[in-house]
Structure 1
Amino acid sequence: MSPKPSAAEVKAKLIEAAIRLLADGGPEALQARKLAAEIGASTMAVYTHFGGMGALVDEVAREGFRRLSANLGGVQETDDPAADILTLALAYRQTVVENPQLYAVTFGQSQPNGQKAALGDMTNEETRQNLSEEGIVAFSYLVRAAERVIKAGRFRPAPEFAVAAQLWSAVHGYITLEVAGYFGDGENGVEQILVPLATTLGVGLGDTLEAATESVRVSIESWRANEGNIDT
């Protein structure tokens, strides 16, 4: 007889099942009955291990941030911190494109069964403490990138958190629109929107047009070579 799975194992299976259901059927598919069937358990398992669907949705969102952090953490820092910002943006984009339903829940854009993931105000130090640790870790990659580019003298002096929040707003806004289909198929939006946006942001934050253009070129050419996402 197989040993009875631990509570942690059951919770992990439920979270993975929730992510599969989201990917296959969208937020409407995320139901306690379907979750239980996915792992061969009773519906009560959802309530025993999470207390309800609301807490499960929060855990799904935390897993979304963990996966985002894993991909952002895979971006190697180079001697061009401005180029690294676009490389992070491309890693962020790829993460969301591969599982848009998960990230719609993670960022509160989707509410399965009326349940919205708990979010928090990131605009000041006190309220940031209320955010999930996973969300803070994901955002820290952008804060680190902002700090590096400011120290390098490429962006004008400013609080790195504020700069990171501006970068996040622009990148996340672009990705949300791309995933919704507003920029066409494939990587058309990367070429037509994201690349020039990266240059515009760099100049707006204090870089020279020449330096920003060169950093964007370095980053996007590396992405093309490694991913082969854009025909040249």
Structure 2
Amino acid sequence: MAKEKQQQQEEDYHKMLRSYLGLSFSMFLATLANNSVPTLQGKVRMLSLRAVEAAEELRQMKSRRQEDSKANARVVEIFASHRNAWQAEEKRLLQQIEAAAEEIARLRGRVAELEDCVARAEKEVGERDEMIGFMSRRIEEEGLGGGEHYGKKSGEWFQKEVEEEELVGSTRSLEEEVEVIYEQHSQHFGNNGFDSEFMASASKFWAEKASLWQGLTIFYSLLLQTAVGKHMLSSSRVVD
């Protein structure tokens, strides 16, 4: 009996505790509904608006990202096309530079050949000057006796003058060829095919060589006329 009574008391105690807890939660919920529901509803509306704004911002960001991707793709395509054009232009300019360098080397070799020709011609001119001076002295010393010898030497002078004219002609032909090559080079590569220093030295070189040949031709013509005049004067004296 005592045991049953104790169990009955425990059950009553549990029932009372459950009732108390249920009543407490009910009163808490009643108080919460009256005070917090409007606030929570406002927060829900605010959060909903923020969610809508965030979704709109996300949509705009995605749209901008797509536009940026398209713009970047266009920039890459334009840069690639320009890069190909730049590479082709660079290759063409390098080929022109190589061709110009080869042409300059060939022209400098031709100029060196012309300088060798001029050096040989100047050497021959010096030798002829010595021979002419020697023959002039012999003519003056021998007088009439040197007429036959003079005639022979005059023939040699005429022959050497012809050789000199041939040398001058070959040199002038080389000069004309160089001028034609330079004109073709200027038309093909433009005005910047050669540097100013090389062009100035080349112009000076041709001017000096042209004046040299012209002066030599006039000198030999006058010297030959003087020698012939002396010979004619000596012959007229013998006749008298």
Report the TM-score, using the length of structure 2 for normalisation. Answer: 0.26
Larger Rg: 2
**More contact order relative to length (CA 8 Å, sep ≥ 6):** 2
Report the TM-score, using the length of structure 1 for normalisation. Answer: 0.27
Greater share of residues in helix: 2
